[in-house]
């Protein structure tokens, strides 16, 4: 059982990693808390009472106070990020003791173990602002969505953002190939297909191939052609906790795994060629995507059919316009290009991506 006493966020929201502090003399409870810290990848500081000097109490990103120690910490300075931990589900007095010590939460073991592991892991990883997560999907086949996804990711990394590019299309041939890194060392999707629960964000990042200053989660050339929704949830949640930018290249079909990816996005970009047939197909894709994702925008790619421009395409789709995706050599046949899309940092496509990130990051900071 867990319950909230106050609603203030813990100090970990600042993104500062640190050791959790445990205050208890209960040997059995201490064993449980040490086990949960180990599961979360954290090494705690342990005291029987308020540490002297009290710097540890004030600086620790998370303080776990055993119910046996509540009386001993009653007079200490109030701070956020204090959890009162007990094991007696029937003890109604625990709420009074939580208020007396200024605890944010009351937690009873073993029911609250997973919640506590997640909180400890957050502070161990120094969780701050989650990554701005952008999905790119084609309005029809061959729209250039994968190329734009790669260009956006390469641009974000070049601008200094910690960046992860996720290949959500198992039938797309592999974004590592598009980036010229099919032989690069690192794990691919099949290694994560069985993931459940929480993944360590640092371990995820370090396990993936590093190409053009960004991390890439792509497909190998094996038989695995689907990502279970729980695996997609675990991977994207871990990626978002690292901050920076996450770009997801999505297929046009919406299965359970893709629906989970859409649920994790901040912004979706629908890439639509300026042709009437493409617009008609894109309407169907947009209808399915908007069942899950609220913020879907359109990027229009020329050349333009008679009577169409980017604003007219956006009007027909009833979607906000990101802009016109510039045509460059290799955009429609990226595998024939001498270099990955956007990697040179110059030209209209790179400028389009740079302007997108500038606007999206401003929106995210203002939210």
User: Cβ contacts of residue 113 below 8 Å, gap of 6+?
Assistant: 36
At 2 the pLDDT is 56
At 247 the pLDDT is 98
Q: What is the spatial distance between Cα 257 and Cα 336, in angstroms, rounded to a whole number?
A: 30
pTM listed for this prediction = 0.75
Range 132-366 has CATH code 3.40.50.300 = yes
Residue extents of the structural domains in the chain: 2-125, 132-366
Mean of pLDDT values over 86-109: 92
- Greater confidence (248 vs 2) lies with 248
At 1 the pLDDT is 58
At 8 the pLDDT is 39
Per mean pLDDT, which range of 153-167, 192-206, 287-301 is the poorest?
A: 192-206
Kindly tell me if the per-residue pLDDT of 175 is higher than 50.
Answer: yes
Does a cis peptide bond (omega within 30 degrees of 0) precede residue 303? yes
Q: Which CATH superfamily is 2-125 part of?
A: Response regulator (3.40.50.2300)
Fold match, 2-125 / 132-366: yes
Kindly tell me if the per-residue pLDDT of 290 is higher than 90.
Answer: yes
Mean of pLDDT values over 293-305: 94
Beta 45-47 vs 21-23: how paired, if at all?
parallel
Residue 136 contacts residue 148 (beta carbons within 8 Å): yes
Which neighbouring-strand residues pair with 66? 85
- Tens-place pLDDT, residues 317-352: 999 999 999 876 555 455 555 577 777 777 899 999
């Amino acid at each position: 059982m867990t319950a909230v006493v106050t609603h203030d966020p813990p100090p970990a929201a600042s993104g500062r990693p640190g050791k959790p502090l445990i205050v208890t003399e209960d040997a059995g409870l201490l064993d449980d808390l040490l086990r949960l810290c180990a599961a979360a990848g954290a090494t705690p500081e342990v005291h029987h009472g308020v540490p002297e000097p009290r710097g540890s109490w004030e600086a620790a990103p998370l303080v776990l106070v055993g119910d046996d120690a509540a009386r001993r910490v009653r007079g200490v300075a109030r701070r956020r990020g204090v959890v009162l931990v007990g094991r007696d589900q029937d003890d109604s007095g625990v709420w009074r003791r939580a208020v007396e010590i200024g605890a944010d939460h009351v937690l009873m073991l073993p029911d609250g173990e997973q919640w506590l592991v997640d909180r400890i892991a957050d502070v161990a990883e120094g969780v701050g602002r989650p990554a701005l997560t952008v999905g790119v999907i084609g309005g029809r086949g061959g729209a250039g969505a994968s190329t734009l996804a790669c260009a956006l990711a390469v641009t974000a990394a070049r601008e200094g953002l910690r960046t992860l590019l996720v290949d959500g299309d198992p039938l797309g041939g592999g974004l590592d190939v598009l980036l010229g890194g099919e032989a690069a060392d690192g794990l691919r999707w099949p290694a994560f297909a069985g993931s459940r629960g929480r993944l360590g964000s640092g371990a995820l990042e370090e396990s993936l191939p590093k190409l053009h200053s960004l991390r890439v989660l792509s497909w190998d050339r094996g038989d695995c052609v689907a990502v279970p929704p729980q695996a997609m949830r675990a991977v994207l949640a871990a990626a978002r906790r690292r901050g920076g930018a996450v770009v997801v290249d999505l297929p046009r079909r919406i299965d359970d795994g893709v629906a989970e990816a859409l649920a994790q996005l901040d912004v979706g970009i629908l890439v639509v060629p300026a042709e009437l047939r493409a617009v008609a197909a894109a309407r169907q894709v947009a209808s399915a995507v908007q069942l899950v994702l609220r913020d879907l925008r359109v990027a229009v790619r020329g050349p333009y059919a008679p009577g169409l421009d980017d604003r007219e395409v956006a009007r027909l789709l009833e979607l906000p316009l990101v802009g016109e995706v510039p045509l460059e050599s290799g955009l429609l046949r990226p595998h024939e290009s001498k270099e990955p899309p956007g990697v040179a940092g110059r030209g209209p496509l790179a400028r389009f991506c740079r302007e997108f990130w500038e606007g999206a990051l401003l929106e995210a900071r203002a939210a």
